[in-house]
Amino acid sequence: MKIKEIKSITDLDRIKRANLINSITGISPANLVGTISNDMKENLSIISSVVHIGSNPPLLGFILRPSKNTRRDTYDNIFETNQFTINHIHSKMITRSHYTSAKFQKHESEFDKCKLTPEYLNKFKAPYVKESYVKIGLDLEDIQLIKSNGCRLIIGKIKHIFMPHNAIHKDGNIQLELLDSVAVNGLYTYYSLNKVAEYSYARLNDPFFKKY
Amino acid sequence: MKIKEIKSITDLDRIKRANLINSITGISPANLVGTISNDMKENLSIISSVVHIGSNPPLLGFILRPSKNTRRDTYDNIFETNQFTINHIHSKMITRSHYTSAKFQKHESEFDKCKLTPEYLNKFKAPYVKESYVKIGLDLEDIQLIKSNGCRLIIGKIKHIFMPHNAIHKDGNIQLELLDSVAVNGLYTYYSLNKVAEYSYARLNDPFFKKY
């Protein structure tokens, strides 16, 4: 492959630059974030920025764009109720999940418009997605303003995990290939996953280092 | 699939909980972060937390664990030089990339120990990975302490992108399947990617919504 610099990234037109920078990180996890407002308006939003923050306490985060000029129902709902859910997208629900990104009115529920089913479990306020195989319920832990561009890092503490127990390896790792979880690159392209390699904790006395 | 709650997550032993919480986000991008210290000690670190922060200015971020009790060469180098690189991992370099996570001494270079090649381009201080097909050079934009657990969100502004130009779609999206970029789940399991669906910006007048 012939590798060359992309000159003048900032000269690209707005859409092309946005797509390039959105996709250049590599693959992202495809998740749906479920929330509800205090007056019981449900919201569902496809989010590709979910990231592991820490294991003890168990913290996950995701990035939300600035809420200055646009309605941000997900942000408002989390701010109001202090709860949200993260739900894995599998291959049979990609289309319905993708279309949650359309600009609906505040009174319209993405669940309803996109034919996904809100599910309430263990008296948790925020709705899970019934169709998902992996559902995580989180309490809001913190909201950090990213000063560089006004985005926010939403951090939640995991309170509940619902998933098929047989998809958890005995070492605790979940097995995405058994769960049919999918991935997204940029805003529009979805990928399925094939396991190609598995290792353990990298130690200096591993055979790998003896080869050289 | 029979979906049930995982009871008492916090009762799991430390390793099992760490693996579960590390893998529960879904898939992550597999990248190598390249840095150098002021006294020219190179460092290379596999990072699965790279996330898109914004497109204009073009900002990417990643999470680093607390540096309290452990040497964190990546953090120290970025703090010293204000530069770092992000390099996609492809299928032929998974093993070498995985082993950069072994605990080397400060004077040892992961490039050397893991048989990857530092590459200096356009007078950028931080080393790229010659073997990678997608190489991104970033200036440090900000370091945000995550108060919840002492981790840090390192934010960089993209200055240079080197990659095969024919892997960029005309809309600006990069095509991961042409680049052989791989993904990681948790700390130990690597996946290749198959494109399964492609959409465009979701509009309310799309045929999808007329089906119902």
Residues 170-209 of B with CB under 8 A from A: 171-177, 179, 181-183, 185-204, 206, 208-209
For strands B135-145 and B128-129, give the pairing: unpaired
Which one of B28, B141, B195 has the shortest CB-CB distance to A29?
B28
* B3 domain-assigned: no
Nearest to B163 among A3, A54, A134 (CB): A3
Contact between chains at B52 and A29 (C-beta distance less than 8 A): no
On whether the CB atoms of residues B64 and B75 are closer than 8 A, the answer is yes
Q: How many CB atoms lie within 10 A of CB A90?
A: 20
Does any domain span residue B157?
Answer: yes
The distance in angstroms from the start CA to the end CA of chain A is 27
Per-residue model confidence (pLDDT) at position A107: 87
* d(C-alpha A130, C-alpha B158), whole Å: 39
Q: What is the pLDDT of residue A88?
A: 98
CATH of the domain at B186: 2.30.110.10
Interface contact A183-B183, CB threshold 8 A: yes
CB distance A31–B25 less than 8 Å?
yes
Residue B72 within any structural domain of the chain: yes
B200 part of a folded domain: no
Q: In terms of residues, how long is chain A?
A: 212
Q: Do B102 and A12 touch (CB under 8 A)?
A: no
Let me know if residue B67 belongs to a domain: yes
How many alpha carbons fall within 13 Å on the CB side of residue A93?
24
Q: Which domain holds residue A30?
A: 25-188
**Inter-residue contact A92 to A129 (CB < 8 Å):** no
Rounded-to-integer distance, Cα B153 and Cα B61, Å: 6
Measured from the Cβ of residue B88, the count of other Cβ atoms closer than 10 Å reads 28
- What pLDDT is stored for residue B211 in this prediction? 67
| C-beta separation of A30 from A182 below 8 A | yes
Q: Please tell me if residue A155 touches chain B, with a CB cutoff of 8 Å.
A: yes
Indicate whether B6 belongs to any domain.
no
Question: Is A135 within a domain?
Answer: yes
Count of CB atoms within 10 A of residue B102's CB?
A: 18
CB contact under 8 A, B155 and A176: no
Read off the tokens for B38.
């002021």
In a domain, B10, yes or no: no
The answer to whether B67 contacts chain A (CB < 8 Å) is: no
- Are B173 and A22 inside 8 Å of each other by CB? yes
- Alpha helices (H) along B5-86: 14-23, 73-81
pLDDT of residue A76: 94
Q: Which parts of chain B register pLDDT below 70?
A: 68-69, 211-212
Q: What domain count does chain B have?
A: 1
The pLDDT tens digits along chain A (212 residues) read: 899 999 888 788 899 999 999 999 999 999 999 999 999 999 999 999 999 999 999 999 999 988 766 778 999 999 999 999 999 999 999 999 999 999 998 889 999 999 999 999 999 999 999 999 999 999 999 999 999 999 999 999 999 999 999 999 999 999 998 999 999 999 999 999 999 999 988 999 898 998 65
Handedness of CA A103, A105, A107, A113 (dihedral sign): negative
Query: How far is residue B46's CA from residue B100's CA, in Å, rounded to a whole number?
Result: 6
